[in-house]
Amino acid sequence: MGILRTDKISGLETPTPVTGSVEFDGNGDWISVAESEDFNFGTGDFTVEFWIYWDGFNTGGTRGVQLTSAVTNGIWIGQVNTTDYVLRSYGNANHLTVSLPPLNEWHHIAVTRKDSTARFFVNGKLGASGSVTHNFVKHAITIGSDESSGHTNGYISNVRMLKGTGLYTSDFTPPTHALEVIGDTVLLCCNNPDSAGAEATGKTITVNGDAAASTVSPGLTRDFTSGTEFSGVTVFDTQGYFVPPSGTTEQRGRGRGLFGGGLAPGRTNSIDYIQIQTQGNAQDFGDLASTREKLAGAAGAIKGLFAGGDISPTTNAIEFVTISTTGNVTDFGDLTDSRDDIAGAANHTRAAFFGGDNTNIIDFVTIASLGNAQDFGDLTVTGNSGCGCGSPTRGIIFIGSTVQYITWATTGNATDFGDTAITNTSRMATSDSTRGIIAGGYSSPAISNVIEYVTIATLGNAQDFGDMVDGIYEPCGASSNSIRGVLAGGETSVTVNTITYVTIQSTGNAKDFGDLTKLRKIGAACSDSHGGIS
């Protein structure tokens, strides 16, 4: 960590505990999550980690974190007697065994599998390892009990599961900061001092018995609430005041936008990328699985998703890429229905796909996991050629002149937000964390160059922002980071490859950014640093 010499820096002056736990009294209480394909670990890599504090043991077995609801061959982690803590498949022999750590202390537990080698860590130290090729089937998750005689007496905090990643392979220092959703996370819970049912990937936690949220925690901290964390060598030379940039060094390095599919002029499967914080021409990223147009894009900080579209006929396929790399897509799952002319938006946890083929459908997926989309609710109007954006809290949908919103943490129908000044189709939208912009479009016989904006946290009609360089409709799409919105491709009177940008928190006309690798329209865009995750 770098050291900045100063009289005082705003923010926290000392680290403060910020995470909670769930308290179990050892007498018939637990929390559970319904069976999901996310928990079908199969023979692949996985990570399960959590903190636990035992007040006492009981003869029925203090199960700690038990990942099964009595499903044969479901993964099971817990105490089997007064001396052993094990990884086993329910109904089968133990795979790994370590000694139980002492009572009345916080302990970090991690069980991983990578390339068929499973490892059991206690407080960052490898306690057992070996070849474990068992096929762990999908199951419900039970935390704190086996739902009969084996109940945890103590506290469990920051339970995180990753499907597809073996995070720890040798001795490590247990995390000192509260855990967050990272790539392949399928569960993150037991970390909210106000709710035993809080969960970070969008799943529903059922609280049973007297399980209760608690402020007792393993002392995990964030040593800043906003501003900068300095990593590595950090040098300052200034005679005046200055404001360091916000976010970690790694976060400030993010800012990649993707543009995929569309007509160029025939259907294309190519994906371009740009670095949003700079200017310049796009570069080749990789390919979609097939050529398609009229698809949707959405992304978290790690995965970029492309969904639906027209491949003659329409498709329900959802594909993903890892945005920080380059390469071709991998299958993610399916929409609830095949359709094109579809819109997308996301926050850090969920991606939603709206409308298309004159439907009012809203689908959603949990970005960190793989699997088919689920029903979220309905739009207020049916429509095609909409577009979307959002903040960490709300998703915003533009269709025709209507503006609608959803709340990411819930499911349900969209709610009216307001209206745009003009009724256009085939527009593009993007956002930072507080402001959404919408640009271009077509309303016979005119092609629009108008850019409007909304303030996401409030309700109301869109306001004038400025103008695009040219009137454009049927765009390739828009992406953004926390500062810039980038608008790419589309149709003027001909298909274009131009990329322009605006500064989202200002108003004014768009400026030239560069060019896509080819002429492209009615494609899809996403980024790793848009307003839903900034």
| pLDDT, tens digit (0-9, with 9 covering 90-100), for 25-82 | 877 788 989 888 888 888 999 999 999 888 776 545 545 555 555 566 777 787 776 6
Report the distance separating Cα 153 and Cα 56, nearest Å.
6
Percentage, residues of the chain above pLDDT 90: 56
Q: Is residue 296 within 8 Å of residue 344, measured between CB atoms?
A: yes
305: pLDDT strictly greater than 80: yes
Tokens of 339: 């359709």
Asked if residue 246 belongs to a domain, the reply is: no
How far is it, in rounded angstroms, from Cα 252 to Cα 43? 36
Determine the Cα–Cα distance for residues 151 and 162; give it in Å rounded to an integer.
Answer: 24
Strands 247-248 and 228-229: parallel
Number of domains in the chain: 2
Give mean pLDDT, residues 90-96.
74
Given a contact cutoff of 8 angstroms between Cβ atoms, the answer to whether 475 and 516 are in contact is: no
pTM value > 0.75? no
| Across 119-145, average pLDDT | 88
Same domain for 185 and 263: no
Q: Is 317 helix (H, G, I), strand (E, B) or coil?
A: strand
Contact 361/374 with Cβ under 8 angstroms? no
Asked whether residue 400 is domain-assigned, the answer is yes
- Residue 248 maps to a domain: no
Contacts for 309-314 with beta carbons within 8 Å, 24 or more apart?
309/261, 309/340, 309/342, 309/524, 310/267, 310/340, 311/267, 313/338, 314/338, 314/339, 314/340, 314/357
Return left, alpha or beta for 280; rule: phi > 0 is left, psi -120 to 50 is alpha, else beta: left
The reply to whether 158 and 286 lie within a common domain is no
Tokens of 163: 């499907």
- Single out the residue in 222, 246, 269 at which a domain terminates: 222
Residue bearing the bigger pLDDT, 207 or 245: 207
Are 98 and 34 contained in the same domain? yes
User: Distance between alpha carbon 528 and the CA centroid of its chain, in Å?
Assistant: 10
In terms of Cα–Cα distance, which of 307, 476, 462, 445 is closest to 397? Answer: 462
- 223 pLDDT exceeds 80? no
Instruction: Give the end-to-end CA distance of the chain in Å, rounded to a whole number.
Output: 23
Phi, psi torsion values for 507, nearest 5 degrees = -125, 160
Cα atoms in the Cβ-side hemisphere of radius 13 Å centred on 494: 5
For residue 245, say if its preceding peptide bond is cis, omega within 30 degrees of 0: no
Whether residue 356 is contained in a domain is answered as yes
Q: Are residues 402 and 491 in the same domain?
A: yes
Q: What does the alpha-carbon distance between residue 482 and residue 252 come to, in Å, rounded to a whole number? A: 10
pLDDT of residue 224: 43
Q: What is the 3-state secondary structure (H, E, C) of 112-141?
A: EEECCEEEEEECCEEEEEEECCCCECCCCE
Residue 432 — φ and ψ, nearest 5°? -100, -160
User: DSSP labels for 156-209?
Assistant: EEEEEEEES----SS--PPP-S-----TTEEEEES--TT-TT-BTTSPPEEEET
CA distance 220 to 50: 12
Residue 242 lies in a domain: no
Please write the tens of the pLDDT for every residue from 5-25. Answer: 433 344 443 334 457 899 988
pLDDT at 505: 93
Whether residue 279 sits in one domain with residue 189 = no
Same domain, 503 and 382: yes
CB neighbours of residue 419 within 10 Å = 15
Which two tokens mark 27? Answer: 């007498």
Question: What is the per-residue pLDDT for 142?
Answer: 86
- The verdict on 268 and 198 lying in the same domain is no
Q: Which region, left, alpha or beta, applies to residue 62 given φ > 0 means left and ψ of -120 to 50 means alpha?
A: beta
Q: State the residue range of the domain holding 492.
A: 256-527
Q: Is residue 2 part of a domain?
A: no
> Looking up tokens 């959703």, which residue turns up?
181
pLDDT at residue 462, rounded to an integer:
95
SS (H, E, C) 256-272: EEEEECCECCCECCEEE
Structure tokens at 408: 């990411």
**Bigger pLDDT: 289 or 236?**
289
Virtual torsion, Cα 359, 364, 369, 371, nearest 10 deg: -40
**CATH code: domain of residue 458:** 2.120.10.80
Among the candidates 222, 245, 268, a domain finishes at: 222
Res. 217 pLDDT band, cuts 50 70 90:
confident
* 244 occurs within a structural domain: no
3-state secondary structure of 39: helix
Do the Cβ atoms of 176 and 18 come closer than 8 Å? no
Residues 501, 414, single domain; the answer is yes
Among the listed residues 381, 364, 323, 50, the one whose alpha carbon sits nearest the alpha carbon of residue 190: 50
**What pLDDT shows up at residue 219?**
83
**For residue 171, what is the domain's CATH number?**
2.60.120.200
Q: How confident is the model at residue 115 (pLDDT cuts 50, 70, 90)?
A: very high
HSE at residue 461, side-chain half, CA atoms within 13 A, is: 8
Please identify, among 222, 239, 270, the residue that sits at the C-terminal boundary of a domain: 222
Reduce the DSSP state of residue 252 to 3 states and report it.
helix
Do 217 and 260 fall into the same domain? Answer: no
Number of residues that make up the chain = 534
- Same domain, yes or no: 450 and 329: yes
Of 488, 479, 491, which Cα lies nearest the Cα of 513? 488
Residue 293: count other Cβ atoms within 10 Å of its Cβ: 23
Judge if 496 and 450 occupy the same domain.
yes
Q: What average pLDDT score do residues 336-340 get?
A: 94
* Amino acid in the structure at residue 367: I
Q: Do 211 and 303 have their domain in common?
A: no
What is the average pLDDT value for the chain, to the nearest integer? Answer: 85
What pLDDT sits at residue 147? 57
pLDDT (tens digit per residue) in 149-182: 567 888 999 999 999 999 999 998 898 888 888 8
- 310-323 pLDDT, tens digit per residue, is 998 999 999 999 99
Encoded tokens for 69: 């609801």
Residue 481 lies in a domain: yes
| 44 touches 177 (CB < 8 A) | no
